[in-house]
Structure 1
Amino acid sequence: MTKRRLTQNQKRRIQQNKAKSLSRHTHKSQRDFEWEDELLGESQEGLVVARYSAHADIEDIQGQVFRCNLRRTLSSLVVGDHVIWRQGHENLHGISGVVEAVQPRMNTLSRPDYYDGLKVMAANIDRIVIVSAVVPTLSLNIIDRYLVICETANIPAVLVINKVDLLNDTERKMVEKQLEIYENIGYQTMMLSAKSGENMENFTALLSHGTSIFVGQSGVGKSSLVNGILPEVNTPTNAVSEISGLGQHTTTASRLYHLPKGGALIDSPGIREFGLWHLEREQITKGYREFQYVLGTCKFRDCKHLDDPGCALRQAVEEGKIHAERFENYHRLIASLAETKSQRHFLTD
């Protein structure tokens, strides 16, 4: 019987299958390898500077970074966590140690996930930088969504408007007027351009204290800002689509960067447009800080703050104490929340 010769395509597929098998074996070895106590050094403190599916990069107090396995008893580990870990006496399967415990968190930033429920994305954050852009338009509704998340997490927020080099004088004054809405209720705002460098020095100075994290929709220039602050990082960026006005999601790994002038920056691909379906109506209401001084003073306890008689919120809007656009955005969020919860209930039944 004549032996059949393999074609080039068949040989290539065989080699690809072998490579995939080897890769699975390597990843399995990294994931399933358990460190014995005699192979490990003393317990020490560390900081999670990068998080992957099966391991994490841990920075020690001298600033050296070690890739570590995670003890199976750890329920959650994210960038920004302070941990207790032990270094191995030697490097095994590319792993240098093991994380044994997570220290108490000052705070967390979470987002809802349809499959995993509420998912923690980062921990121990001093400020959330909400990045918006003027292309295609500045959306106050989206800003308000992020602010509700910040208020719920009890983390200070800074509003940053990027790409202001694209504005003419009239448009710039309009954006400044919109930002006054937030400045009047105590939020810090900044207008800057990663492209022209406008106000970037002041922005860098702001970030030089504590740990910051960027949030914002794709296309607003988060990666360009990272490149402007840390040019050696070379975070990939994509141009805004001429058709939709929306950019492509370009960042691929969660990581904490130490900034040259002090402070730290967490850049995470998982933080994009937050859903709010995990929140209750009361949490969204409390997410509007200027509402707080009148809440509880409506005529009826179950006031929906619409056309209800004796609504203190509506009266505050009419008196100019609450901005009408914020009030309208609030009701858009409430309506969107009810619709999303209804859809999720239908899908899970």
Structure 2
Amino acid sequence: MAKKKKLSKGQSRRIKANHQKRIDKAKETEVSDVSWQNDNLGPTEAAVVISRFGQHADIETTDQEVLRCNIRRTVTSLVCGDEVIFRRAKVSDGDLAGVIEAVHERRTQLTRPDFYDGVKVVAANIDQILMVSAVVPEFTPQIIDRYLVACEDMGIEPILLLNKIDLLDQESLEYIDEVLDIYRELGYRVLLVSTKSGEGIDELKHMLEDKNNIFVGQSGVGKSTLVNTVLPNADILTKEVSENSGLGQHTTTVSRLHHLPSGGNLIDSPGIREFGLWHLDVERVTWCFKEFREFIGGCRFRDCKHLNDPGCLLREAVDEGKISELRFESYHRILESMADGRAGARAPRV
């Protein structure tokens, strides 16, 4: 048996320092919980999380009172849209008005993979997801397909929202509209809007009524501008697309739930440049392309890669025009990016 290598003095110091940090953090948590003992708390009440800040969260009560609360250590996950049980403090601790005791089971949740946190929940109890794309910085159907896969996986209704159509000439508009017809034929709702011309805005407001909504999409597609349009008093910061890189700049840093004047809610969340799917199985992604479903399981070989494999029903459906070539190519690009994502997730983080 090989002799165990002795730790260097530097390694020993780092291990000891990290151990002490964990002890200190545990002590801080114990101290912070002292002011939240039962004798300083009132009865339980219901509320909805409208924003999360580290170990604190802003909640709204049934009387529409907004309070900032501490979060019990037993609450392991808390995001915008969560329905919670909290208790008010009889004697408040600074700007903290109470403590969140528990979270109700979520009806739905939007998740995305994260290299550091595994699968990360973005928002809870969402009814519909508005996938915002635009001609600037770039109209990319593959990004739309990524979000559609996520929506199908989570069982949340998607709406495809093409923004900034005032920047399109007639020829470009006709081309993009032809691409969007692919999604319309699949039963997805599509809406073209412009915050400058006002086109489609009234219809958008109607779509948002009495629903819990979230806007998702690459940075720079105009999510914050759209929020300012449907919620004039929200004062969401906006930035232009970078002239140097052509990429959008992140503006929103903390997710927040806003009430819509006509009813319903909208969660404004930080921009996501790319929606990774590497946490899903290949078979699940295939199923999430809804037009593929009638052909799944019918290929000649059980391990069919759906490329040029003999007897592949998906390939045959593409050749026969039953499946869009654009969507089929997007499907394989997504699978390639998933493989790259898994490799990145396994790689050591430095």
TM over 0.5: yes
Return the offset for 1:231: 1.4
How far, CA to CA, are the matches of 1:55 and 1:65 in structure 2?
13
Correspondence list, 1:34-183, <5 A: 34-183=35-184
How far, CA to CA, are the matches of 1:58 and 1:241 in structure 2?
35
Return the offset for 1:34: 3.6
Quick one: which amino acid aligns to residue 222 of structure 1?
A: K
Quick one: which amino acid aligns to residue 223 of structure 1?
A: S
2:228 alignment counterpart: 227
Quick one: which amino acid aligns to residue 90 of structure 2?
A: H
SS at match of 2:86: strand
How far, CA to CA, are the matches of 1:315 and 1:332 in structure 2?
19
Quick one: which amino acid aligns to residue 319 of structure 2?
A: E
Return the offset for 1:195: 2.0
Give yes or no for contact 2:137–2:220 (8 Å, CA) kept in 1. no
**Cα distance change of structure 1 residues 320 and 173 upon mapping to structure 2, 3 Å threshold:** same
Per-residue Cα deviation, 1:272-329 (whole angstroms, up to 9, x for no partner)? 4211221221121112111111101111111110111110101111111110100011
Per-residue Cα deviation, 1:50-81 (whole angstroms, up to 9, x for no partner)? 11101111111111111111111111111100
How far, CA to CA, are the matches of 1:30 and 1:51 in structure 2?
21
CA RMSD for the aligned pairs? 1.9
Give yes or no for contact 1:126–1:155 (8 Å, CA) kept in 2. yes
How far, CA to CA, are the matches of 2:256 and 2:161 in structure 1?
21
Give yes or no for contact 2:47–2:60 (8 Å, CA) kept in 1. yes
How far, CA to CA, are the matches of 2:297 and 2:154 in structure 1?
22
How far, CA to CA, are the matches of 1:116 and 1:327 in structure 2?
31
- Report how many aligned residue pairs link the two structures: 323
1:316 alignment counterpart: 317
How far, CA to CA, are the matches of 1:61 and 1:99 in structure 2?
15
**Cα distance change of structure 1 residues 271 and 91 upon mapping to structure 2, 3 Å threshold:** farther
Quick one: which amino acid aligns to residue 108 of structure 2?
A: N
**Cα distance change of structure 1 residues 96 and 185 upon mapping to structure 2, 3 Å threshold:** same
Give yes or no for contact 1:219–1:246 (8 Å, CA) kept in 2. yes
Return the offset for 1:347: 3.4
How far, CA to CA, are the matches of 2:31 and 2:226 in structure 1?
34
1:5 alignment counterpart: none
Give yes or no for contact 1:121–1:271 (8 Å, CA) kept in 2. no
How far, CA to CA, are the matches of 1:54 and 1:299 in structure 2?
53
Per-residue Cα deviation, 1:20-60 (whole angstroms, up to 9, x for no partner)? xxxxxxx9899555412121111111111111101111111
Return the offset for 1:344: 3.3
Deviation larger for 311-320 or 268-277: 268-277
Return the offset for 1:253: 1.6
Quick one: which amino acid aligns to residue 231 of structure 1?
A: P
2:7 alignment counterpart: none
- The answer to whether structure 1 residue 200 and structure 2 residue 201 are counterparts is yes
Give yes or no for contact 2:45–2:86 (8 Å, CA) kept in 1. yes
Give yes or no for contact 1:51–1:57 (8 Å, CA) kept in 2. yes
**Cα distance change of structure 1 residues 268 and 136 upon mapping to structure 2, 3 Å threshold:** closer
How far, CA to CA, are the matches of 2:233 and 2:274 in structure 1?
27
Give yes or no for contact 2:56–2:69 (8 Å, CA) kept in 1. yes
How far, CA to CA, are the matches of 1:291 and 1:248 in structure 2?
35
Return the offset for 1:148: 0.9
Per-residue Cα deviation, 1:151-181 (whole angstroms, up to 9, x for no partner)? 1111110000000000111111111111100
Give yes or no for contact 1:30–1:69 (8 Å, CA) kept in 2. no
- The answer to whether structure 1 residue 253 and structure 2 residue 272 are counterparts is no
How far, CA to CA, are the matches of 2:334 and 2:252 in structure 1?
28
How far, CA to CA, are the matches of 1:118 and 1:270 in structure 2?
17
TM-score (norm 2): 0.88
- The answer to whether structure 1 residue 209 and structure 2 residue 210 are counterparts is yes
**Cα distance change of structure 1 residues 81 and 136 upon mapping to structure 2, 3 Å threshold:** closer
Give yes or no for contact 2:251–2:271 (8 Å, CA) kept in 1. no
How far, CA to CA, are the matches of 1:29 and 1:346 in structure 2?
35
Quick one: which amino acid aligns to residue 213 of structure 1?
A: I
Runs of 4+ in 1 over 6 A off after TM superposition: 27-30
**Cα distance change of structure 1 residues 136 and 119 upon mapping to structure 2, 3 Å threshold:** closer
SS at match of 1:41: strand
How far, CA to CA, are the matches of 1:332 and 1:235 in structure 2?
34
SS at match of 1:316: helix
Per-residue Cα deviation, 1:219-262 (whole angstroms, up to 9, x for no partner)? 00001001101111111111112232211001122110000111
